[in-house]
Amino acid sequence: MQVLAYGTSTDAHDEYLRMSEAVTRASLIKLVKGVISCFIQEYLRRPKDDDLARLLHVGAERGFLGMVGSIDCMHWQLKICPTAWARQYAGRSGKPMIILEDVASYDLWIWHAFFGTPDSCNDINVLQQSPIFGDVLSGRAPNVSYVVNG
């Protein structure tokens, strides 16, 4: 858990936890697989037709016709970044950063999350790499119409 929470390497805990790097990594993988298997049916999935209908209905009630959720990008500083990647992931501050893109609905249900885009990318590059816009371009996204400014 500390590897996930603090972004440390797996071999940084051998003294503290008395676990080897291999055991720490195996434990982390087992934890992540457990979380995925436990939550995949309800939370780690694309919205179904009834989910979309509910989201569109609530959006319309709130004055946002055709809005499923809100997309946002967040810049996240990397505490540990491989030296070979440091320049590629350097943001305006010169520190290595990644961009997290997510789509959340009004009830804070995260329907889409995409990590790892280098901070040196601009918004257009993020959208080009985003799997959510890949679905739109390939025709797999739901057909939703919306109105902007009347």
What is the pTM (predicted TM-score) of this model? 0.60
Question: What integer pLDDT is reported at residue 30 of this predicted model?
Answer: 92
**Which pLDDT belongs to residue 34?**
92
pLDDT digits over 88-146, tens only?
878 777 888 888 888 888 888 888 888 777 766 776 777 777 777 777 788 877 777 77
User: Per-residue pLDDT averaged across 7-16, rounded?
Assistant: 63
Across residues 61-88, what is the average pLDDT? 81
CA separation for the pair 25, 32 (Å, rounded) = 11
pLDDT at residue 13, rounded to an integer: 63
Can you read off the two tokens belonging to residue 113? 């999350």
pLDDT in the model for residue 117: 73
Give residue-wise pLDDT tens across range 43-58. Answer: 777 788 888 888 889 9
Number of residues that make up the chain = 150
Q: Which residues pair with 76 in a beta bridge?
A: 98
